[in-house]
Structure 1
Amino acid sequence: MLIRNPDISMSKANTVPFGIWPRLRRETCLDSGSSLGYASLVRNDCEKQRQIPVQLSKLSEKTTLLALVLGATLICGLPLLLLFKTGLTGNGGLDLGPLMEAVQSRSVRSALWHSVESSFLSALAATALGTLLALLIGLTDIRAKGLLVFLILLPMMIPPHVTAIAWIQALGPGSPVLRWLGLAPELGSTHPLYSREGLVLLLTLQHSPLVFLLVRAALRSFPRELSDAARVSGSGSLLMLRRITLPLLAPSLLAGFALAFVAALGNFGINALIGIPARYTTLPVLVWRRLASFGPDVLPNVAVISVILAVVALAAILLQGVLQRHLRTSLIGLPQDPLAIALGGKRPLVEATLWLFVAFVLLLPTASLLATSLVRTYGLPLSAETLTLENFTEVLWRQSVTLRAFANSTLVAGVAALVIAVISLFLAYFLAHRKPAHRTWASLALTQSEVAFAVPGLVMSIAFILAFIRPLPLLNISLYGTLWIILIAYVSVFLAVGLKPVAAAFLQMDGSLEDAARVAGAGFYRRMTRIFTPLAAPAAASGAILVFLTAYNEVTVSALLWSTGNETIGTTIFNYEDGGYTTLAAAMSVVVVAATILIMLTMNALARRVPAGTIPWKD
């Protein structure tokens, strides 16, 4: 069918196929300088076409933001609200009776004191140790810094319960290494780690890499002007450290202490494997024991204890925020390479001390773990007669539960890391949005994710049981007892971990990028896929790697959510050790440590082929 346009010059073709007419109108809208004479005929239509993409883009933005906020509320905020509702309300509304009864209980008060005491002491020691290591590596001229950083951060990637098992076997009377060296305690003697001090020691070694990472990042963000001015004025290294570096580091030190305190407060693996034999029960272990009793009022009972644990953690975070605002110091200047203070003749001694520390923290427990996995029965000395690979054969080929656990953990951790990376890209965009309303709503989702991360993992487990023990409305499907509830719990708890580096990347982007894309007519999803995602991909990958390594080996969140057929690596190792199968627990722990090291080494090998910032522990 042909139509005739009277406004087109007779020197031009005066017939246009009907199907081409909409395309010509669109092209005319995009080309304001077109020589075609029918621009006036379609001017109103052009204005409508320009408005439609803008309206659709705004609608897409608002819909995406609403979905993000609702999703964060459903998986982060709602479970915690149900937990507090169960613990603090009764049939008639607010009821603090069960909470007061729990506080007056001797077992709860004892567990609360043990939790606060061990967390405070270990956080204090971890802050001191992590800061010392960061200052030595960050401000001096010691050699092999990259390898030292990798080895210092390695314990943070190893599951706490594996750390506990390794040290129990390393320092106990049956330690193959100490018996080979003739230094093992006498058989039948009390294990040296089964005490408050042993618990604090392992918590310190587990969480000092967190402080090291924070302090080292703060040192690398300092401008050099203050340090250079102090050195020109004749200030020595110790005076400069005391008068300049440490005061400027105060907010980071406080953040490191709070992070180590909250991590120790919610730690389950070390608290259970060390605290139970030492009769030093903490709140996470008390919750686990109460839930295992399966009484008629078990959920309200553990909900009350979980509320106490959550309140202590949130109080610590709020106190940290208040103190940080008072200690904050504004710095002017661009971040530069940190100082390399010459140690002179002391450098060999400092380097030898660092390498001895690394060997003590890594080699001794790892060697003991490996030796235990290679003997038939725990306590036998490692020799040619007792050497066997039977334990590895058992856990890798004969025990179906271990194969399921590896498959489940790999699947759930991988999917959680991928989902968190995608969510972080969109949520970080709105956190850096130019409109205050968008930033406010995005901050609501961010706050809920940070609270879910700050609250101990065992508390989140109880919250998810309360939220998903009943079938979902409309769907009539129960997630409790399935792998899905563990996956959702991982996304909820570790969302803040994957979001932080992506949010920092978006804050550094120039707003003119989006302005240019809008002028070119790019809609919201086109801007996200073609501009922001490529720029923020390294940060998203860095967060995803941290999420995967953390979720792959964790036991705190899944300790109460796993079921037969849905075991994870962490719960399987813990059950082996708790059931007395020490050699099998050691064999599976060796496999987990080897897999973690292999993943980190693979990431290191890819560091030169990926954008800077993709590997979280690489500069």
Structure 2
Amino acid sequence: MGLARGEGLTLAALCIFGAVLFALPLGLLAKVGLTGGGLPSLDPLREALASGSVRRAAWNSLESSALSGLAALVLGTGLALILGLSDVRAKGVAVFALLLPMMIPPQVTAIAWVQALGPSSVVLNTLGLAPPPGSAHPLYTPFGVMLLLSVQHTPLVLLVVLAALRTLPREMTEAARIFGARPFRLLRRVILPLLAPTLAAGFMLAFVSALGNFGILAILGIPARYTTLPVLIWNRLSSFGPGALADVAVISMLLAGVSLVAIALQFAMQRRMRSAVVGPPQPPLRIALGPLRPVAEGVLAVYVAITLLLPLTALTATALVKTYGLPLTAETLTFGNFAEVLLRQGSTLRAFGNSTLVAGGAALVIAGLAILIGHAATRRGGGLPRRFGAGFATVADVSYAIPGLVISIAFILTFIRPLPVVGVSLYNTLGIIFLAYLTAFLSIGLKSVVAAYGQLDPALEDAARVSGARYGMRMRRVFAPLVAPAAASGAILVFLTAYNEVTVSALLWSTGNETIGTAIFNYEDGGYTTLAAAMSCVTVVATMLLMAALDRVGRRLPPGVVPWRA
């Protein structure tokens, strides 16, 4: 079956989009990192690896990512098994609370924990439990870096394992229970072996996310003298400016290469451990814990209190005192920090406006692109559209896995010169941040839409064709309305991710084009701790409101599209 004119034009437009925002930037990055004297060569990479600072940063990146990934795997799997297999109460609320740290920007997480546990902690000083003044901060160590990376990425593993538990066949677990298998034996002999590919995917997801994390690695790693590749890239580019592009492009290629190797290993392990005994989503198994249920619920409550309530309480307390380090009393209480960042600081007001503009614009554009790409990727009968859609989705997944700083370097290389014909440069504008967001976060908005297309009756396409509907009308009148809730869900997730991020924009922002993430990081880096805390509190409240909006939209979506609405 040939392509209709409208469908052909759509695919051509998407090809141009993919070439400009995926192939060209990453191709230029590869050209700089893998050429020497104008010819393909590995000499730039060898020269980079000959540097002691690069080798140390590479080792620190691998070490922190691997160890924090393992910790996140253990914690996330344990929490998922409690929530997914037992009869604990208030599961929706628990999952929402456990996933919230993932949606809070990593730089905010780092700031909150630093303020919760240090000698100047407002909470500890108020309670009289603060370490002596001048004591070394317990988080300014490699262990502190890995601890917070584990906390940040445990929800990722939780999400992946919960989704897998919904597809496990109940027949096998019920048969094992009928034959007398107790819960721990059932877990060890049946459930965990079936989850092996998912556990590999969860570890690699946590590993790659930690590898590209910038907020935690910068705020904790720089004082701890524990430099990783993302921080090394940021240090060199911020110290030497655009003239250091060639140097940092080579380091970025090294970082991207490690990420791609991790993804390849994940696919290889999943193929070797693949099991064909999964089915469609079904009611989850509910193992009655009996007298152990209060213990399991207590474990969940304590984990939420430690990883969410404690740092957020410290963050709020710091935002409410006149000077960082004072105890929170009636005399030291002030709302001046909030007034400063919300009413008087022009840079922070611009940051909120800029982040809303570029994150909102990226979310809307990605929602529209996801509807078009998802239709092609799930089209019945294969052919060029389906191969194109599947290929585009794969490229989007790879771009999402590549650390944000690498994408930033690629976009600087691509757009630092004026655009052909128009003669306008996007460098040092919001436009380059907007385009980088499209590349970095398309995968987030695409997944829920592809899942929604997969649940539609394939006969809809044939019925619309028989009725004489051309491609444009089929998309407007049939498919777009049906997948619109999933597209809206994906758009909100994209907005949540882009609104608070710092990894992509850390190297792309400029005066007048600040984002929320860079403004918070700059406040903390400049020593304005109370202002950083106030702005972080506002960001957390905005994130919670947006998650509540996503929860409301999720009531009309299939189970699993919104993570905490199982």
Q: State if a TM-score over 0.5 links the two structures.
A: yes
Structure 2 equivalent of residue 257 of structure 1: 203
Percent identity for Structure 1 against Structure 2: 61
1:511-558 CA-to-partner distances (Å, cap 9, x unmatched) read 211111111100001111111112212221221111010000000000
1:62-141 equivalent positions in 2, closer than 5 A: 62-141=8-87
Structure 1 equivalent of residue 225 of structure 2: 279
Q: Is the 8 A contact 2:120 2:325 kept in 1?
A: yes
1:479 aligns with 2:430: no
Structure 2 equivalent of residue 216 of structure 1: 162
Residues 171 and 231 of structure 1, relative CA distance in 2, 3 Å threshold: same
Is 94-103 or 454-463 further displaced after alignment? Answer: 94-103
Structure 2 equivalent of residue 11 of structure 1: none
Of 531, 538, 557, which aligns to 1:591?
A: 538
1:467-516 CA-to-partner distances (Å, cap 9, x unmatched) read 00011111111111111111110011000111111112222322211111
Of 397, 404, 413, which aligns to 1:466?
A: 413
1:155 aligns with 2:155: no
Structure 1 equivalent of residue 276 of structure 2: 330
Is 348-357 or 224-233 further displaced after alignment? Answer: 348-357
Residues 537 and 379 of structure 1, relative CA distance in 2, 3 Å threshold: same
C-alpha distance in 2, partners of 1:72/1:210?
A: 27
Structure 2 equivalent of residue 345 of structure 1: 291
Alpha-carbon deviation of 1:334? Answer: 4.2
Q: Is the 8 A contact 1:73 1:448 kept in 2?
A: no
Secondary structure of the residue that 2:76 maps to in structure 1?
Answer: helix
C-alpha distance in 1, partners of 2:548/2:507?
A: 32
Aligned partner letter, 1:526: M
Structure 1 equivalent of residue 494 of structure 2: 547
Aligned partner letter, 2:183: S
Aligned partner letter, 1:453: Y
Structure 2 equivalent of residue 488 of structure 1: 435
Structure 2 equivalent of residue 390 of structure 1: 336
Structure 1 equivalent of residue 350 of structure 2: 404
Is 275-284 or 373-382 further displaced after alignment? Answer: 373-382
C-alpha distance in 2, partners of 1:230/1:444?
A: 41
Q: Is the 8 A contact 1:120 1:261 kept in 2?
A: yes
1:94-137 CA-to-partner distances (Å, cap 9, x unmatched) read 23222211101000000000000000000110011011000001
Secondary structure of the residue that 1:293 maps to in structure 2?
Answer: helix
C-alpha distance in 2, partners of 1:359/1:445?
A: 41
Structure 1 equivalent of residue 511 of structure 2: 564
Structure 1 equivalent of residue 143 of structure 2: 197
Aligned partner letter, 1:509: L
C-alpha distance in 2, partners of 1:178/1:552?
A: 31
1:300-354 CA-to-partner distances (Å, cap 9, x unmatched) read 0000100000000000000100110111100265432111111111111221121
1:485-564 equivalent positions in 2, closer than 5 A: 485-564=432-511
Secondary structure of the residue that 2:23 maps to in structure 1?
Answer: helix
Structure 2 equivalent of residue 617 of structure 1: 564
Aligned partner letter, 1:576: Y
What RMSD, in angstroms, separates the aligned Cα atoms of the two structures?
1.5
C-alpha distance in 2, partners of 1:118/1:611?
A: 37
Q: Is the 8 A contact 2:449 2:486 kept in 1?
A: yes
1:281-296 equivalent positions in 2, closer than 5 A: 281-294=227-240
1:174 aligns with 2:96: no
C-alpha distance in 2, partners of 1:234/1:75?
A: 56
Residues 329 and 313 of structure 1, relative CA distance in 2, 3 Å threshold: same
Aligned partner letter, 1:505: A
Aligned partner letter, 2:396: S
Is 353-362 or 204-213 further displaced after alignment? Answer: 353-362
Aligned partner letter, 1:375: V
Alpha-carbon deviation of 1:223? Answer: 2.0
Secondary structure of the residue that 1:277 maps to in structure 2?
Answer: coil
Gaps of 5+ in 1: 1-53
Q: Is the 8 A contact 2:448 2:561 kept in 1?
A: no
Q: Is the 8 A contact 1:72 1:449 kept in 2?
A: no
C-alpha distance in 1, partners of 2:406/2:553?
A: 37
Structure 2 equivalent of residue 270 of structure 1: 216
Aligned partner letter, 1:442: G
Residues 612 and 140 of structure 1, relative CA distance in 2, 3 Å threshold: closer
1:301 aligns with 2:238: no
Alpha-carbon deviation of 1:603? Answer: 3.4
Q: Is the 8 A contact 1:313 1:455 kept in 2?
A: yes
Residues 227 and 611 of structure 1, relative CA distance in 2, 3 Å threshold: closer
C-alpha distance in 2, partners of 1:268/1:295?
A: 19
Structure 1 equivalent of residue 526 of structure 2: 579
Q: Is the 8 A contact 1:73 1:445 kept in 2?
A: no
Secondary structure of the residue that 2:240 maps to in structure 1?
Answer: coil
Alpha-carbon deviation of 1:430? Answer: 0.8
Alpha-carbon deviation of 1:447? Answer: 2.5
Q: Is the 8 A contact 1:69 1:444 kept in 2?
A: no
Aligned partner letter, 1:131: T
C-alpha distance in 2, partners of 1:612/1:335?
A: 8
Residues 331 and 177 of structure 1, relative CA distance in 2, 3 Å threshold: same
Secondary structure of the residue that 2:195 maps to in structure 1?
Answer: helix
Alpha-carbon deviation of 1:409? Answer: 0.5
Alpha-carbon deviation of 1:68? Answer: 1.0
C-alpha distance in 2, partners of 1:192/1:435?
A: 56
1:346-367 CA-to-partner distances (Å, cap 9, x unmatched) read 1112211210111111111111
Secondary structure of the residue that 1:278 maps to in structure 2?
Answer: coil
Q: Is the 8 A contact 2:125 2:325 kept in 1?
A: no
Is 156-165 or 173-182 further displaced after alignment? Answer: 173-182
C-alpha distance in 2, partners of 1:297/1:560?
A: 14
Aligned partner letter, 1:78: L
Q: Is the 8 A contact 1:112 1:282 kept in 2?
A: yes
Of 313, 326, 336, which aligns to 1:380?
A: 326
Structure 2 equivalent of residue 27 of structure 1: none
Of 233, 240, 256, which aligns to 2:179?
A: 233
TM-score, length basis structure 1: 0.89
Alpha-carbon deviation of 1:296? Answer: 7.5
Alpha-carbon deviation of 1:295? Answer: 5.8
1:134-176 CA-to-partner distances (Å, cap 9, x unmatched) read 0001100111111101100000110000000000000000111
Alpha-carbon deviation of 1:292? Answer: 1.1
Aligned partner letter, 1:599: L
Residues 186 and 481 of structure 1, relative CA distance in 2, 3 Å threshold: same
Residues 544 and 257 of structure 1, relative CA distance in 2, 3 Å threshold: same
Alpha-carbon deviation of 1:445? Answer: 2.0
1:7-46 equivalent positions in 2, closer than 5 A: none
1:41-65 CA-to-partner distances (Å, cap 9, x unmatched) read xxxxxxxxxxxxx98x711111111
Provide the aligned length of Structure 1 versus Structure 2: 565
Structure 2 equivalent of residue 207 of structure 1: 153
Alpha-carbon deviation of 1:606? Answer: 5.0
Alpha-carbon deviation of 1:613? Answer: 6.0
Aligned partner letter, 2:195: L
C-alpha distance in 2, partners of 1:334/1:401?
A: 50
Q: Is the 8 A contact 1:224 1:335 kept in 2?
A: no
Alpha-carbon deviation of 1:297? Answer: 4.3
Is 554-563 or 541-550 further displaced after alignment? Answer: 541-550
C-alpha distance in 1, partners of 2:61/2:285?
A: 39
Is 211-220 or 286-295 further displaced after alignment? Answer: 286-295
C-alpha distance in 1, partners of 2:371/2:552?
A: 26
C-alpha distance in 2, partners of 1:113/1:163?
A: 24
Aligned partner letter, 2:108: V
Residues 515 and 571 of structure 1, relative CA distance in 2, 3 Å threshold: same
Alpha-carbon deviation of 1:396? Answer: 0.6
Gaps of 5+ in 2: none
Structure 2 equivalent of residue 432 of structure 1: 378
Q: Is the 8 A contact 2:492 2:546 kept in 1?
A: no
